Amino acid sequence: MSKKKKQQKRARFNVASSVVLVVAVCVFVFSLYQLVSMLVPYYSGGKIYDEIKDLAITADEDGSGFQVDFDALMKENSDTVAWIRFDEPAIISYPVVKSADNNEYLTKTFTANDNKLGAIFMDMRNSSDFSDRNTFIYGHHLNVGGEMFSELLEYESESFCKDHPNFYIYTPDGHVRTYTVFSAGVVKDTADNYKIEYASDAEYEEYLKLCQDSSNYTVDVELNAQSQIVSLSTCTNVRDDERFLVQGVLTATD
C-alpha cells in the first residue's frame, strides 16, 4: 500500500473516530441533562417540605412531644386541614391540604410551587374535619427519594404492619386522631374500595368487609357501622390502573 493511501486511510479513521467521540459526548451530555432534570425536582421539593417541618413542627428526637403549629401552616397555605404522621422513624410526616379540585395538588407543593412531588391532599368530597365515615387522602409514590406516600408500599408486608400498626392525624382544633391499619393492598383505581358514600349502615358494613377482603393480610381490629376510617391512596408505579390502598380505623382521639 502506498504512503498516500495509508495517509488517506488514517485520515478517514481519524474522522470516524472524531465523529464517534462527538456523538458519545453528546449522548453523555444529554443523558446527564436528563438525569439532572429528573433529580432536581425531587431535591427542591424535598427541601420545601423540610422547611415546612422546621417551620411548624416541634418534637423530641424520638418523636415524642410532637406538636404542630397550625397558625404557621395556615399563613403559608389556607388550604391546610391536617397533618399526617406515622410511627417513628417515619418518612410520612406532612401537612394535608384540600382544595375544590383533586388535580390541583398533583403537581403543586404545599407552598404552591410547581413540582412533581405535589402535596398530600384530602379528597374534595370529604369534610375537612374528618367527620365522614371514610376520608380519602392521596399522595404520590416516588421512584426516587422515597418521599410523600412512597412508604405506604411497606404495608405490603404483614410484619411491617405489626411493627407500625398506627398512623396519626393532627387537626387544627388541637386533637390527635389515632388510626389503626386494618387493610393494605393493591386495588384497581375504579374498584369499589374507592366508594365514598353509603346509603345505609348495612351498605357501609359491606364496604368494610370488601376492604378487609382486599387486604394482603388480616388485622384483628373491630369494625362496625359506627367506625370512622381514613383511606390513604398512592400509585403502585407498576400499572397505571392500579393503586396501593392503606386504610385505618379510628381507635383513639386525644
> Distance between CA atoms of 197 and 75, rounded to whole angstroms?
32
CB atoms within 10 A of CB 138: 22
CB environment 121-134: b (16+ within 10 A), e (fewer): bbbeebebebebbb
Q: Which of 141, 161, 164, 235 is catalytic?
A: 235
In the residue annotation, 164 being an active-site residue is answered as: no
Residue 186 neighbours by CB under 8 Å, 6+ apart: 236, 242, 243, 244, 245
**Amino acid at site 85:** R
Q: Are 73 and 101 in contact (CB under 8 A)?
A: no
Which residue bears the cell 424520638? 62
Q: Which of 140, 141, 161, 164 is catalytic?
A: 140
Residues designated catalytic: 140, 235
